[in-house]
Amino acid sequence: MTRADVARYAGVSTAVVSYVLNDGPKAVAPLTRERVLDAVRVLGYRPNAAARALSKGTADMFGLVVHDNRNPFFAELCHALDQATADVGRSLLIVNSDRSQVSTAEQIRDLASRQIGGLIIADVLTASEQSVVESLGIPAVVIGQFGETDGLYSVGVDFARGAYEVCAHLIEHGYRDIAFAGSAARYDERERGWREALTAARLPLGTLVHTPFGYQGGYDTAMKLMRQGALPRAVLAASDQIGIGLLAAFHEHRIRVPQDVALASFDGTMIADFVSPRLTTAAQPMERMARAAVELLLNPDTPRQHRAYSTQLRIRESCGCDSEGSGSEGSGSEGSGSEG
């Protein structure tokens, strides 16, 4: 069905149909408006968003490239971004970059062809992929990566500082043998924060396990630590998913958390509060990051910049704190965030 079909059914011009569907710019008599809306319902007409964007010279939709929105962190980030775009009258088109049959560069080009008004990237870009983004001529922002991305807007947290604060909290418990479980895909700023916290406390580096992100990566890490014999006194996991995988394996093998091995993690997803024991974690301020990303897209004349926010240390039982007293919210400094 086309706009012309709606106009013929309602007995009006296509311009009148446009005024009704776009709520202007000219007023339409109430009875005429009702005829047009009735025609839309009867015919099942759906406006063509791409055509509307071309006619208006702008687009009311943003594109989002995310690695895997099944990951709890990315799922919550997608939700925060969807809400932030809706708050400014935009919609969000989401694609996952882990699809094996289509390259990330192809997905980015496909999104751009849909007349999006801006692009949000929640994934690590290669140099060639970044070149594709820069060639599109539309506002683009990278979110949730380790630092500034030259030539693009970027929004994220201070990963090293957040991990440092979590590790320092474990040290405050008196733990001296603290392991780290994280990715080896690239140098992880969370690993750097763990190293710096131990060095500042004049403690030796604990066991370092490089593992894929995900529940299975955490589970396999726990199995590896148990096979080594002497377990570390505490483990800092680079994500809540890894932390929960560790927790599942330890529970399966009757290793008590935190009595035998204390755990802490990174991200602050909702699921960390619904496992037993609940995970102490460095929470990323996803809603604030989402709003900042959308704000940057809406103001493309702003000089390219990186906005960095603090994490918030949420202290729960897995580190050895009880559920009361120092239990629910920790000493982290989400505050107003720092912007660079």
Report the 10 Å Cβ neighbour count for 149.
20
Residue ranges covered by each domain of the chain: 3-47, 59-157+288-309, 159-285
Tell me if domain 3-47 and domain 159-285 are identical in fold.
Answer: no
CATH number of the 59-157+288-309 domain = 3.40.50.2300
**C-beta of residue 311 within 8 angstroms of C-beta of residue 157:** yes
Edge-to-edge strand list for the sheet holding 234-237? 208-210, 178-182, 234-237, 262-267, 280-283, 312-314
- Does 72 sit behind a cis peptide bond, omega within 30 degrees of 0 on the bond before it? no
Specify the pLDDT at position 203: 97
Ranges of residues in the chain with a pLDDT under 50 are: 54, 57, 324-340
Residue type, 319: C
Specify the pLDDT at position 133: 86
pLDDT tens readout for residues 242-254: 999 999 999 999 9
Q: How far is CA 328 from CA 92, 260, 279, 323, in A?
A: 33, 22, 10, 6
Alpha-carbon distance of 263 to 315, in angstroms, equals 11
**C-beta of residue 68 within 8 angstroms of C-beta of residue 96:** yes
Nearest to 310 by CA among 201, 203, 166: 166
Backbone angles phi, psi at 303, to 5 degrees: -55, 145
Alpha-carbon distance of 148 to 150, in angstroms, equals 6
Question: 3-47 is classed in which CATH architecture?
Answer: Orthogonal Bundle (1.10)
CATH number of the 159-285 domain = 3.40.50.2300
Specify the pLDDT at position 134: 83
pLDDT tens readout for residues 288-336: 999 999 999 998 788 877 888 999 999 999 999 975 434 333 333 333 3
Nearest to 19 by CA among 6, 33, 8, 31: 33
Mean pLDDT of the chain: 86
